[in-house]
Structure 1
């Protein structure tokens, strides 16, 4: 397991492939690079002649937890830029799904000189999608820190997992000032409040003018409430010259995977299992 220090925190990463342009591949949520479904896609892209960077973002997997920035995605964008350039790459291709799509788009907006091409799918948007993200990823920490300070925060199940994967994270949490942590969490929560002029959470639509690289958008499924079809269509309008394609997986893939998981029919996180099906379309786009 390789790691580098970025902004005072350890970032864990892995590079697949021996040669070729670099693709920085980012999953969604606060999932690690080992989340089921991501590696098969990475391997397929590497087999297509690329090097693929898989990384644990801050607050994901075995990397150190970190808390700063306008939003969590802004923090991740800064980290990805410093990770890629710190590894000696001047340019790369960004690819990501769900939260990883937002991170990739924001990185392209903030660091356009870094990015050669952009590929995104499962873009989160809409009132329901953003409301769920804020309530799931931010509100538990706010309730915990307001109740019992940082001692309560380290008992939040998600943060317990980060500590189990990286024991150094416990001290990193406890060293934080509880008032400053609460202030930051409220700022991060605000990014997930739906606002006019923000098609994706926490990012003003005018920022899309900064994306001027060839961009592939795999649109959301017909009835996917977490990654609405409407949002991907709006993003395609905001990124001039972007290419929009239908999903290579069934229109209802996300819903069916959610149902199977809820019924206990699968023993692993299965929401990204279909992502490998995008490899042919991504490779075709990158080589065009």
Structure 2
């Protein structure tokens, strides 16, 4: 798999398709480009006549772990800028769901010259959603640091998985300075503290007005506490001329997938994303 060094770390990526606009597809969580549900959407977009860039963001998949910037999403935006610059690929369409929506918005704000259009879905927000983010991204790491120092990171499931996917990450983690890394984790944690004037974690509302490209938002489900309908509607009010469309999946699709997984069923949280392909393609192809 192709690898490019960006900001001192290796980033694994893949480009599908040969023609059409380049769409950067970014999932959420600490999930990489090969996580269930991501590639089927990419392949459907390629079948629609476009190229798709899949990438393992830092701290996801087989890329190197990296730790810098005001928040993890800011770091990923800087990484995507470096990746696209190295590939001499741009401007592009950014399409992201859940954490990938947040990463895409910040990229569009920080690097407007790289973006032609923006498609967002499963936007995280609200108190339950932000608290969940803190436990997904930060709190297990902070707890391990407090208990065992840097070596404690090797016991955290997410970092164990990053080492399994990329053995280089073991030494990269052990090489971290404990005091500086602790300071960074506390800074990154602040992004997930519910704050007036921040609809999106770690991003002041007024900055969303800097997004000047056509934007389509697939609104959150009416029964989704992690990606609430209210958050997507608030974001649509903050991004100039953003348009909102109804989700192509059930209003409670996210909750149903989580419950199905809890019952041991073979279901993925991103399985429904392939249903977004028609609305993404229609928006990308619009003159």
TM-score range, shorter chain: over 0.9
- Distance in 2 of aligned mates of 1:275 and 1:220: 13
| Alignment-derived partner of residue 239 in structure 1 | 239
Report the CA distance between 1:147 and its aligned residue.
1.5
Contact kept, 8 Å, 2:29 with 2:136, in 1: the verdict is: no
Contact kept, 8 Å, 2:150 with 2:178, in 1: the verdict is: yes
- Distance in 1 of aligned mates of 2:249 and 2:139: 32
| Alignment-derived partner of residue 203 in structure 1 | 203
Structure 2: state its 5+ residue gaps: none
- Distance in 1 of aligned mates of 2:132 and 2:101: 17
| Alignment-derived partner of residue 23 in structure 2 | 23
Report the CA distance between 1:90 and its aligned residue.
2.8
| Alignment-derived partner of residue 182 in structure 1 | 182
- Distance in 1 of aligned mates of 2:176 and 2:265: 40
| Alignment-derived partner of residue 271 in structure 2 | 273
The alignment's TM-score, normalised by the length of structure 1, stands at 0.98
- Distance in 1 of aligned mates of 2:44 and 2:85: 24
* CA-based RMSD: 0.7
| Alignment-derived partner of residue 102 in structure 1 | 102
Report the CA distance between 1:59 and its aligned residue.
0.3
2:241 corresponds to 1:262: no
1:50-61 paired onto structure 2 within 5 Å: 50-61=50-61
CA deviations 1:190-237 (Å, max 9, x no partner) are 000010000010000011111000000000001100000000000010
1:75 match: secondary structure: helix
- Distance in 2 of aligned mates of 1:8 and 1:70: 17
CA deviations 1:88-142 (Å, max 9, x no partner) are 1131000000000000011001101110000000000000100111022201111
1:67 match: secondary structure: coil
Report the CA distance between 1:77 and its aligned residue.
0.3
- Distance in 2 of aligned mates of 1:146 and 1:24: 37
1:118 match: secondary structure: strand
1:231 match: secondary structure: helix
Structure 1: state its 5+ residue gaps: none
- Distance in 2 of aligned mates of 1:157 and 1:90: 35
2:284 corresponds to 1:286: yes
- Structure 1's consecutive aligned runs of 4 or more residues displaced over 6 angstroms after TM superposition are none
| Alignment-derived partner of residue 227 in structure 1 | 227
| Alignment-derived partner of residue 39 in structure 2 | 39
The alignment's TM-score, normalised by the length of structure 2, stands at 0.98
2:94 match: secondary structure: strand
Report the CA distance between 1:47 and its aligned residue.
1.0
2:170 corresponds to 1:170: yes
Question: What is the aligned length?
Answer: 286
